Amino acid sequence: MSLATLALALIHGQGLAGLGLLASFATPAMVDSDAPSPWFLFGFLAIVWLSNAVASRMRDWRVAPALANAGLSLWCMGHVVFYPMETMVAPGFALLVMIAGMAFVWPGPKTPQPYIVRVNRSAWELYLFPSHGAAILIASLGILANVMAMVSAGMGNDSAEWVAAALILALALLGAGRKYGAYAVVLSALAAFGAIRAMAENAVSTTIDAAGESYHAPFEPNLVVGFAFGLGLIFVLIGGAVNWRLGERLLPRSVLWSGVAAITPLSLAGLSYVFLGNYAFDPSHGVYGLFLAVLYLSVAWRLGNPAGKDRYHINRDLWTAASWASLLFALAMLTEGVATTLGAALIGFAYLLGQRIKPWPILPWAMAASAVFVAGRIAWQPTIVGASQLGKTPIFNALLIGYGGPALLLILSAWMMRKSTDIRLRSVLEALASLFALLTLGVLVRHAMNGGVLDSSVPTLSEQAIYTLLTIGASATLMALDLRQPSIVFRTGSMAVGYISMLSVLSAHFFGLNPYFTGEPTGDIPFFNLLFLAFLLPGFAYGAAAHYARARRPLHYVMALALTGSALLFGYVTLSVRRLYHGADISEWKGFLQPELYTYSAVWLVLAAVLLVIGYRFRAKSIRLASAGLMLVVVLKVFLIDMANLEGLFRVLSFVGLGVVLIGIGRFYQTILGDCRTRRKQRRCWTRNRISKTRLRIRRKRIKPPDDRSRIPFRAA
C-alpha cells in the first residue's frame, strides 16, 4: 500500500509522496512477529528508500528525499541502540544503499537543475550550498550518528567497528566523487574522529560486572591503533586521488579535500597515541608519521609549480605543510629531550633549503613554524632534559644545544633569506632569530648564576629578566606578523605587549626586584652576571626594537622603546659601578664611598656622550633627549652631592671633568649645527637651480621658433 502511494505521488505531487513515506516507515512498527528478522526489516526500508529516490529523480523533488534520509537513519539508529547485540550488518547495508543511491540515483552524477537559477553565485557557494543540500546534510548527519552509536552501544558486537569503517569510507567516497559532497567530506572526517576516540576510550577502560569481577573492554588496543592508521591512510589516498584528477585547478572540492586529508590522519594518529601510545618511545606511530610525510610530499610534488611561477598554491601548500607536521609527529614519537628540540629546528631548516630544489614560497615558512613548535616545547619543559638531568655545568650543558641550536639555525635562515622579495618572511625570521638569541643568552646566564636552577618559588630579578626578554621578543614577533599580514590585532597587540613590558621594567627592574633594594646577589662572574641579564641585555633588546619599529609604529611608541633602553643602560652602568666597589652584594645599607661617588659622575658623563653620538647617528631625537636629561642629572649631582661629600682631588676632578665634557658636547653641537647649515644651504641652492632650470625650460617652450621658410632665398621660376 505504501509503495502504491509513492507510485500515485508521481501523478499527484510531492505531498502525497510524503504521506506514502510516513506510511512506509510506520508499517514495520505496526507488524508483530514472533521471529523478527533485521534483514527483512532493513531490506524493506531500503526498497522504500530506492523507490522514493527514483520518483524524486523523475519529478525533481527536494523535500521527499530529505524525509526518506531522516526516516531510514532513525530506524537504523534505533536498532543499534535498542538491540546492540544483534547484527550491525543489516542496518549498515541499508545505510550503504542510501549512500549509493545519493551517488547514482538521486541527485546522481548529473545534478538536477534548480527551479530558479542564480547567475551570480560563486563556485564556493554552489559547492557548499547546493539546491538539494538539505537532503545531503541530513544523510551525512545520519551516517555520523549511526557510526557513533555503533562504536558506543555495540561494544560487544564483533561487526560494529567494521560496519562503522565501511560507512565512513562510503561517505568519504561520496564526497570525493560528487560536486555536491561537501557535507559528506566534512562529516565523514568527523565520524572517523569520533569513532576512534570512542574506541580508544573504551580500549583503556576496565568494567566491573554485577558479580564484582573486572574485565577489559572488547576493543583491543592494537585493533584501535590499526583502525586509526587505516582510516587516516584512506583519507590521504582519497584526497590525493581527487587532487590528481583535478590537477592544479583550485576547485572547491580539491581545496576542501586537501585540508581534510592534511588534518584528519594526524588527528586520528594523535588520538591513538594519547590513549594507547608509549610516551617514551613509540616506533609504530613514528614509522606511520614518516610514511605519511612521504605520501604528502608525493602529492605536493605531483601538483608541482603551477604555471611555472613562484607563487603560493593552496592545495600544494596544504600538502607540504602536512608533510612537515607528519615529520614533527614522527620526531616526537621517536626522540625526546634535546634531540626533539633540535630535530624540530633541523626539519624546518631542511624545508627552507628545499626551496633551492623547488621554488615553493611556502617552504621557508616551515622554519618559522618549527620555531613556534620549539618555543612551545621550551615553555612546556624549560630545562629541555628535565631538572634532574640538566646538571650545574655553566654554558656547556643541554641548554646550549636546546636553546642555542634553534637560535643559530634561525640566524642562518634569516641571513639566507636576506635577499628574499617576501618582506614578511624576512621580518618574521629576523624577529624570531632575535627572540631566540636573547632567550639563549638569558637562560644560560640564569643557569650559571643560580647553580643550575632555572626557576624558584621566590620572585627574583633574574627570572623576571627572562620574562622581560620574552615579552619584548613577542612584541617584535607580532610586529613582524603585522608586516606579513597587516591586521589591527597584530598592530595593537604588538604595542600593547611592548608597553606591558616597559611597565614591568619600571616596576620590577628598577624598584620591586632591584638588587640595590632587595639584596639579591649579582653573581660572582665578572661580566655575565645578574646586571648583564637584567639591564644590559634588555637595554640592547629595547634599542633594537626601537630601531626596528621606526617608520612602522607611531612616534610615541618608538620614543618609549628608545627611552626604556636608555634607562636600562643607565641602570646597568650605575649598578656596575656599585658592584665594582662593593662586590656581588650591592645592598643600600653599605652606603657610598668617595671614589664611588666620583666614578658615578665620570661614567654618567661618558654614557651621556655615547647616547648623544648614537642619537645623532640614527637621527633619534628621543635618545638625544635622554642624553640631555642625563647630562642635567650629572650637573645637579656635581653641584648638590659631590660638592658636599667629595674632598680634595676628587672634588677637583669632578668639576674639571664636567667642564671638559660640557665643552666637548658644546663643540659637538656646534659642528652638527654647522653641518646642518651647510647642508641646508646646499639643499636651498640645489632647489633654486632646479627651479631656475624648470622656469627656463618653460619659457623656451612658450617662444615660437622662427619660420624657416623665410630664410629660403627666392628662386625665379
Question: pLDDT by residue (tens digit) across 142-154?
Answer: 999 999 998 887 6
Instruction: Write out the three cell numbers for 180.
Output: 555536491
The answer to whether the CB of 485 falls within 8 A of the CB of 542 is: no
**Residue 208 in 3-state DSSP?**
strand
Chain position carrying cell 626604556? 564
- Residue 236's pLDDT is 95
Instruction: Copy the grid coordinates of residue 110.
Output: 548529473
Report if pTM > 0.85.
no
Give every residue of the chain whose pLDDT is below 70, as ranges.
1-21, 23, 31-36, 110-120, 154-158, 206-218, 305-310, 455-457, 484-485, 489, 642, 644-658, 661-662, 665, 667-717
Of 374, 379, 371, which Cα lies nearest the Cα of 341? Answer: 374
Q: What is the CA radius of gyration of the chain?
A: 38
Question: Rounded to an integer, what distance in angstroms lies between the CA atom of residue 367 and that of residue 351?
Answer: 7
- The single residue listed with the C-alpha cell 558486537 is 157
CA–CA distance, 624 with 613 (Å, rounded to integer)? 8
For cell 528525499, what's the residue? Answer: 65
Contact status, residue 125 vs residue 198, Cβ threshold 8 Å? no
Per-domain residue ranges of the chain: 1-111+123-170, 594-609+627-688
Residues in Cβ contact with 685 at an 8 Å cutoff, skipping those fewer than 6 apart: none
Are the beta carbons of 271 and 334 closer than 8 angstroms?
A: no
In terms of Cβ atoms closer than 10 Å to its own Cβ (0-12, 13-18, 19+), residue 552 is middle
**Which residue bears the cell 574506541?**
199
- For the chain, what percentages of helix, strand and coil (3-state, to nearest 5) are there? 75, 0, 25
Q: What are phi and psi of 33, to 5 degrees?
A: -135, 140
* Residue whose C-alpha cell is 621554488: 359
Q: How far is it, in rounded angstroms, from Cα 222 to Cα 278?
A: 12
Q: Are strands 214-216 and 206-208 parallel, antiparallel or unpaired?
A: antiparallel
CB atoms within 10 A of CB 450: 18
pLDDT at 711: 44
Note the residue count of the chain: 717
Predicted pLDDT at 116: 45
Q: Which residue has the cell 642562518?
A: 412
How far is 357 from 297, CA to CA, in rounded Å?
13
Residue pair 258/315 in contact by the 8 Å Cβ criterion: yes
C-beta separation of 215 from 255 below 8 A: no
Name residues whose C-beta falls within 8 Å of residue 196's C-beta, 6 or more positions apart in sequence: 224, 227, 228, 231, 268, 271, 272
Residue 631 is predicted with a pLDDT of 82
**Quick one: residue 395, left, alpha or beta (phi over 0 = left, psi -120 to 50 = alpha)?**
left
Omega within 30 of 0 (cis) for the link into 406: no
3-state SS, residue 207: strand
Contacts of 406 (CB under 8 A, 6+ apart): 341, 342, 344, 345, 370, 371, 374, 436
Residue found by looking up cell 646597568 in the block: 572
Cell 634553534 found at: 406
Cell numbers for 73, please give them: 537513519
pLDDT tens, position by position, 48-68:
888 888 877 777 777 888 888
Neighbours of 296 (CB within 10 A): 27
Question: What are the backbone angles phi and psi of residue 704, rounded to the nearest 5°?
Answer: -75, 140
566: cell is 636608555
Could you tell me which of 146, 138, 136, 164 has the C-alpha nearest to residue 75? 146
Question: ∠ at Cα 130 (128, 136), nearest 5°?
Answer: 90
* Cell numbers describing residue 189: 572526517
Could you give the 3-state DSSP secondary structure of residue 216? strand
Q: Is 520 left (phi over 0), alpha (psi -120 to 50) or beta?
A: beta
Give the CA count within 13 Å in the CB-facing half-sphere of 119: 0
Residue 657: alpha-carbon gap to chain centroid: 55
The cell numbers describing 428, all together, are: 618574521
Q: Are 188 and 263 in contact (CB under 8 A)?
A: no
DSSP 8-state code for residue 215: E
246-285 in b/e form (b: 16+ CB < 10 A) is: eeeeebbbbbbbbbbbbbbbbbbbbbbbebbbeeeebebb
